[in-house]
Structure 1
Amino acid sequence: MQMIKGITFAPFSRRGKLDTKAARASLRNLKKLTGANLIILVPNGLQETPQSETIARETQANATDEEFLSIIEYAHSLGLSVALKPTVNCMNGTWRAHISFFDKDVPCEPKWSNWFASYTAFQLHYAALAEKSGCAMFIAGCEMVMSEHRDAEWRKLISDIKEVYHGPVSYNTDKYQEDNVTWWDCVDVISSSGYYPVNDWENQLDRIERVVKKFNKPFFFAECGCMSTKGSFLVPNDWCIRGEAAPDEQASWYKAMFEACKKRPFVRGFCIWDWAAKQYPLSGAAANTGYEIYGKPALEVVHHYYKEMN
């Protein structure tokens, strides 16, 4: 598999925000400044709570198909490959990893069977869009931790996707979950979220490598990142940390990740979280405490390692 030098671009863009002059300018900056060869776009499906059975995609919280098709075409014109990763979120703010139901269907209770029917419809809609637009990869969701033990349903979903989309299919499991998924054999590429502490990369890569060898599949980090907030590099998955800006800590986290991974040939790429559709002024970069790397020392680190990757 070609080395993926990726950036997640404008995830969960609201209607009317993805295909704009600002978004196109931001995408040009991404191409120019990062050395990326691929972006991941993230359509936003919504369910009310973790126990809701129905997923909606035609909401104001999600870009239209026309917006996705247009920005994909524009990315291709810049020489960027595109992957689609349709992702479900809960309207009440609960993290998607906690979506769960009783393992056995119970009358008058919400059911896995109904939820998977809705999730499958959501994924297949975007699989068809990925096929139509020539996307380089389709990623069947992200960090659905409490659903991943439903082996049969996930196998059926991946099979259904492959009837619609004929490129490589992956799934983005969460950090620390790579060895809990039993159905990696049915995807083409294993991927996960690489939000590991700055001082723990070697241990986690040892564990992930055993999974990759067991299933004999390519692997990449479909998400990875660290906020430029003091202390975030020790718990980069915690987006709730608040504190002073620490751009040098963010840069050191990226350097640690790249240095650890370049010794591991099984790691075939990264997709940085994230790059906004409308960027903050460069004058505000030093004070920004989020995951963005634009205008921060971490951008130079990413560009350096992406440039040297083959």
Structure 2
Amino acid sequence: MTTLIERLGEPVCGMTWGWVGTRGTWATPAASDSMARMAEHAVTWTAIAYAAEQATAFSTDIPFDREPTVTDDEIVWAIRQAKSLGMKVVLKPVVNCADGTWRAHIGFFDWDVPNEPSWSDWFASYRTFILHAGRLAQAEGCEMLCIGCEMVRADSQEAHWRRLIADVREVYDGLVTYNCDKYQEDHVTWWDAVDVISSSGYYPITKWKQQLDRIERVVAASAKPFFFMEAGCPSRTGSPDLPNDWALPGEPSGAEQLRYYEAMLQACRARPWVGGLMLWDWPADLYDAADAAENDDYCPYGKPAGDYLRGAYTAWAEETKR
């Protein structure tokens, strides 16, 4: 099996930028400064991530060309800005529910029923959304396209995903990946259809070895390259034990985020088949460094984890060159 590092010639020393992609927040001086500050942390890959909103988990229309989603011009600006800073780009279009329901719960009857919302209806709309992103990614030379994120209930719709991926390859010739949710790596049955397996690695700080052992079996069986399309931890007490919970009560703590980063990077770098990390996440409107100690979100800017990351990413990249 060829690892992702072998295929790319480098690890994915990455960070997600710009989430959730609210219209008007990209292509601004503040956004430009934010991306420049991110690049200073030895970040060589970025996921340009934005969301389109369907009304509920049972809706089948995804109006990606309307507010609050960023415009095509803003997406193109972000891609070009990242490339001007020397970063490679994964374009990551994501669907969210406007009512706050997590996208993992989007779902319909297993088979199409007349006069009921269906998977066929939903995938028709989703296909339009993803193919539009694929054309943008092709035109702007994005190195990778992520065709979905944490769609747990949709994961079982194998035939729909295979048709979508085949259609994507008609408009985009770069690497195609799908970002499954944590603990779902061994439940996706169509990994052979993508170029790269990726997942959200929000694993408790004490469980990295156990989970990497499990994921390694999936990677070996599929013979596909792998990296974590999402991973990270809020700078908050308690978060290292439940890093996926962005609303977990706790006090701001740069030390706790640093402790998690150290454990995560050490565990991942010990596994040659892990092709890198696309950390979560760096906002388009970045807080002031002077306020970092009171910021308890995922971004490591101005925090101990940020300094650590710069050194760890630099070392990982240098190690690959030797």
TM-score range for the pair, normalised by the shorter chain length: over 0.9
Which residue of the partner structure matches residue 54 of structure 1?
A: 61
- The answer to whether residue 130 in structure 2 is matched with residue 123 in structure 1 is yes
What is the aligned counterpart of 2:39 among 31, 37, 40?
Answer: 31
2:284 matched to which residue of 1?
277
Deviations along 1:113-170, one digit per CA (max 9) or x if unpaired, are: 0000001110000000000000010010100000001111011111110111000100
- What is the distance in 2 between the residues matched to 1:300 and 1:119? 39
The correspondence for 1:165, drawn from 164, 169, 172, is 172
Question: 1:6 and 2:14 equivalent?
Answer: yes
Distance 2:124 2:250 in 1: 42
Q: 2:103 aligns with which of 93, 96, 100?
A: 96
CA deviation string 1:205-228 (max 9, x = no partner): 000000000010110000101011
AA paired with 1:139?
C
Residues of 1 paired with 2:172 and 2:64: CA distance?
Answer: 19
Residue pairs, 1:287-306, within 5 angstroms: 287-306=294-313
* Counterpart amino acid of residue 305 in structure 1: A
Residue 56 of structure 1, CA deviation: 1.2
Correspondence for 2:30: 22
Q: What corresponds to 1:307 in structure 2?
A: 314
Using the alignment, how far apart are the partners of 2:176 and 2:191 within structure 1?
A: 11
Instruction: Return the alpha-carbon distance in structure 1 between the equivalents of residues 186 and 63 of structure 2.
Output: 30
SS at match of 2:30: helix
**2:216 paired residue number:** 209
What is the Cα deviation at residue 109 of structure 1?
1.4
CA distance in structure 1 between the aligned counterparts of 2:280 and 2:109, rounded to whole angstroms: 33
Q: Deviation string for 1:228-255 (max 9, x for gaps)?
A: 1110100001112122112111111011
Scaled by the length of structure 2, the TM-score of the pair is 0.94
The TM-score, its normalising length taken from structure 1, stands at 0.98
Deviation at 1:107, TM superposition (A): 2.1
Matched, 1:66 2:53: no
- Output the amino acid matched with 1:273: W
Q: Which residue of 1 aligns with 2:158?
A: 151
Moved more, 89-98 or 101-110: 101-110
Local SS of the residue matching 2:156: coil
The CA distance in 2 between the partners of 1:187 and 1:277, in whole Å, is: 29
Conserved 8 A contact 2:48-2:78:
no
Give the counterpart letter for 2:34 in structure 1.
S
Q: Distance in 2 between matches of 1:74 and 1:150?
A: 36
Q: CA deviation at 1:71?
A: 2.0
CA distance in 1, matches of 2:15, 2:85: 14
The answer to whether residue 124 in structure 2 is matched with residue 114 in structure 1 is no
Using the alignment, how far apart are the partners of 1:73 and 1:249 within structure 2? 34
Question: How many residues are aligned here?
Answer: 309
Consecutive unaligned residues of structure 1, counting only runs of 5 or more, are none
Give the one of 218, 232, 236 matched to 1:225.
232
Deviations 1:274-309 (A, max 9, x none): 011111111110111111111011111211210011
Take 2:48 and 2:219, find their aligned partners in 1: how far apart are those partners?
Answer: 25
Please state if 1:245 is matched with 2:252: yes
- 2:89 corresponds to 1:82: yes
Secondary structure, in 3 states, of the residue corresponding to 2:228?
A: strand
Question: Matches of 1:279 and 1:111 in 2, distance apart?
Answer: 40
Percent of pairs with identical residues:
49
Runs of at least 4 residues of structure 1 off by over 4 A? none
1:261-276 aligned within 5 A = 261-276=268-283
Shift of 1:11: 1.2
3-state SS of the aligned residue for 2:173?
coil
1:85–1:140 Cα contact (<8 Å) kept:
yes
* CA-based RMSD: 0.9
Give the drift of 1:43: 2.6
What is the CA distance between 1:270 and its match in structure 2? Answer: 0.4
- Kept in 2, the 8 Å contact 1:12–1:61? The answer is no
